[in-house]
Structure 1
Amino acid sequence: MPPEATYYDVTEYWPDEPPVGMWFNYGLVDEFMREWMMRKQKLRNGEITDAEYLEWKLNWPNTCDDCEKNKPKKGWRMHEKN
């Protein structure tokens, strides 16, 4: 079983086909997918900007913070650039 359950948000943009879920039992891919989902949710909710999301994505895994549990090697938020 995956370590965390994730549920598809039903919105007015419901696709014609049902959503497809994937689970990888491979550490690096699991970490990226989990963090990617969290970043997409924060982008959608306005908690991060498009530029911050792009910076995080282009520089991953150096921007990886294990879903905000650790400090990333490279800052990607506008207020924490290093």
Structure 2
Amino acid sequence: MKRIDAELRSFNPSGYEILDEDLPTRGEVVIWSVNPVVPRLGDLFTVESEGAVHEVAVEELTTFKGGWSAKCRVEDALA
């Protein structure tokens, strides 16, 4: 079994990765990115998951060398 070093992990070509496994149960998603534009608390993102579109707001923000991670909560379902 190969061990993949976390620092060598390939990144989504869009520059963003959305982790939505807690969306149905907790109404939360985590967005992380290597985009140099860092969101602010309260900023909104539109996220599509399992055929539904949600507006999510940044609740917690973590920055690290080369990127950031934002924990977001659903504001409302758009469709």
Richer in strand (by share): 2
Superposition TM-score, scaled by structure 1 size? 0.25
Q: Considering fraction of residues, name the structure with more helix.
A: 1
Find the structure with the greater CA-based Rg: 1
Structure with more contact order per residue of length (Cα contacts < 8 Å, sep ≥ 6): 2
Q: What's the TM-score, normalizing by structure 2? A: 0.26
